[in-house]
Amino acid sequence: MPNELAQPRPEYPRPDRQRGLIEGADWLNLNGPWQFRFDGERRGVNDRWFLPKGEWHEQIIVPFCWESLAAWGEGDAAGNDNYYATRVFRNPLEVTRENHRSASRYEVGWYRREIEVPDGAAWAGKRAILTVGAADFFTDCWCNGVHLGRHEGGYTPFEFDLTDALRTENGQRSATALVRVEDPMDNHEQPVGKQWSWYTTTSGIWQTIFIEPRDATFIECFRITTDIDAASAAFEFECENAGDDCRIEVEITPPPYVVGQPPAGEIIRAVAPVADDKAEIRVAIAPLLLWGPNHPHLYDVTLRCCAASANWMWCAATSA
């Protein structure tokens, strides 16, 4: 099991959308050691590497890209003269500082890990959602041999729903999670950053990967548009699986006039009905306290999505 030394970036990765903060109870951090193997011949899919069987003898530390020394437990050796892992190249003895950006390397890597879904109140009756903070560039995911989906892109978070593919034994839900990431050297049709021409290439999972519980009905995304002159904020929501009886509750807590003091005003509450999985509402803001370097006022915003037949599901955000 990962420990505090082997699990990098243990903090909750989305503080602007909190469902719970206690790791192992409200959410589960999957950073740390994963079983790993390169797929130099691109035969993993045909050979069914995604099935939960067989021995994998390599190990990688997530969320370091596989070109990083830290991914292989060698981060302490990194420095100005030693800053990339030679094991990612097909002919490591021919690689130098001058050619390492263009030298032939492995383009496909497979990650595997056993996961036990926490058994607690926060997870009771909820979906188990696997989120990858970012992986470069093409990502496929399997759970217990079931293909869950594919994502294209190297810079933004994406998710897969593990729920229907989980094993259940004696009340414990578990999974063998497989993640295949492909980062082709011929990336002319991909949006790439300066790491391709200036710095060492970045491939594979390179941001926090975690699972957390979620209701079947939830807020998929939202937009907040503020209007200073009108002292108001407009909210737009897109929901998933929201019935006609679903509604959105907005709760806004004003900041204090001075740090450490109570809020400057009463909590502002508003409710909007959901129709066709969408909702809109405009809320008057009073008192209106603007953000500035000397007075960095921020309002705490809590959003709740509720159906008459379900418990409240909530996410929180902080907005100026």
pLDDT band at 18 (very low <50, low <70, confident <90, very high): low
Q: How confident is the model at residue 195 (pLDDT cuts 50, 70, 90)?
A: low
Q: What is the pLDDT of residue 314?
A: 41
The answer to whether residue 188 scores a pLDDT higher than 80 is no
Rounded to the nearest angstrom, the gap between the alpha carbon of residue 232 and the centroid of all alpha carbons in its chain is: 31
By residue range, what is the domain housing residue 66? Answer: 28-214
Tokens read off for 185 = 């050297």
93 and 142 co-located in one domain = yes
Query: Residue 63: inside a domain, yes or no?
Result: yes
- Do 33 and 123 reside in the same domain of the chain? yes
pLDDT band for 304, please (50, 70, 90 cuts): confident
Nearest alpha-carbon partner for 28 in 51, 2, 6: 2
- What pLDDT is stored for residue 291 in this prediction? 92
| Residue 309 reports pLDDT greater than 50 | no
Long-range contacts of 258-264 (CB under 8 A, 24+ apart): 264/289
* Same structural domain, 41 and 189: yes
Which of 174, 189, 214 terminates a domain? The answer is 214
Does 17 fall in a domain? no
Q: Looking at the predicted structure, is the pLDDT value of residue 138 above 70?
A: yes
pLDDT of residue 191: 78
Residue 183 in this model has a pLDDT that exceeds 70: yes
Do 33 and 145 lie in one domain? The reply is: yes
Whether residues 50 and 142 fall in one domain: yes
Statement to judge: residues 153 and 180 lie in one domain? yes
Whole-number Å distance between alpha carbons of 108 and 128: 27
Residue 3 lies in a domain: no
Whether residue 192 is predicted with pLDDT greater than 80 in this model: the reply is no
- What CATH number is given to the structural domain containing 306? 2.60.40.10
Asked whether the predicted pLDDT for residue 300 surpasses 80, the reply is yes
| pLDDT of res. 274 | 93
The predicted structure's pLDDT at residue 319: 44
Among 18-27, 272-281, 307-316, top mean pLDDT goes to: 272-281
Number of other CB atoms surrounding residue 149 within 10 Å? 12
- 81 — pLDDT class (breaks 50, 70, 90): confident
Say if residue 308's pLDDT is above 80.
Answer: no
Measured CA angle at 165 (ends 178, 56), to 5 deg: 25
Residues with Cβ within 8 Å of 82's Cβ and at least 6 positions away in sequence, in order, are: 69
Is residue 261 domain-shared with residue 126, that is, in the same domain?
no
Q: What would the mean pLDDT of 94-117 be, rounded to a whole number?
A: 93
Joined together, the tokens standing for residue 56 give: 């994998």
In the chain the first and final C-alpha atoms are separated, in Å, by: 40
Residues 270 and 150 in one domain: no
Beta bridge partners of 240: 218
Judgement on whether residues 137 and 178 belong to the same structural domain of the protein: yes
Residue 318 scores a pLDDT above 60? no
182 with 270, same domain?
no
Q: Strands 268-273 and 218-227, how do they pair?
A: unpaired
Q: Note the pLDDT tens digit of each residue in 214-264.
A: 988 889 889 999 999 999 999 999 999 888 889 999 999 999 998 889 999
SS3 123: helix
Report the number of distinct structural domains present in the chain.
2
Higher pLDDT, 83 or 252: 252
Inside any domain, residue 14: no
* pLDDT score at 82: 87
Q: Tens digits of per-residue pLDDT, 26-48? A: 999 999 999 999 999 999 999 99
Average pLDDT over the chain, rounded to whole? Answer: 89
Examine the domain organization and report whether 210 and 247 are in the same domain: no
CA–CA dist 197, 200 (Å, integer): 8
What count of residues does the chain have? 320
pLDDT at 310: 43
The CATH number assigned to the domain holding 51 equals: 2.60.120.260
Q: pLDDT exceeding 90 applies to what percent of the chain?
A: 68
Last residue of a domain, one of 192, 214, 236: 214
Residue 11 counted as domain residue: no
The pLDDT value given to residue 100: 86
Could you tell me if 46 and 194 lie in one domain? yes
Q: Are 249 and 303 in contact (CB under 8 A)?
A: yes
In a domain, 292, yes or no: yes
Q: Is the pTM of this model over 0.75?
A: yes
* Domain endpoint, select from 169, 189, 214: 214
Q: Is residue 9 part of a domain?
A: no
pLDDT at 115 over 50: yes
The structure tokens listed for 268 are 């502002």
Residue of higher predicted confidence among 100 and 195: 100
**38, part of any domain:** yes
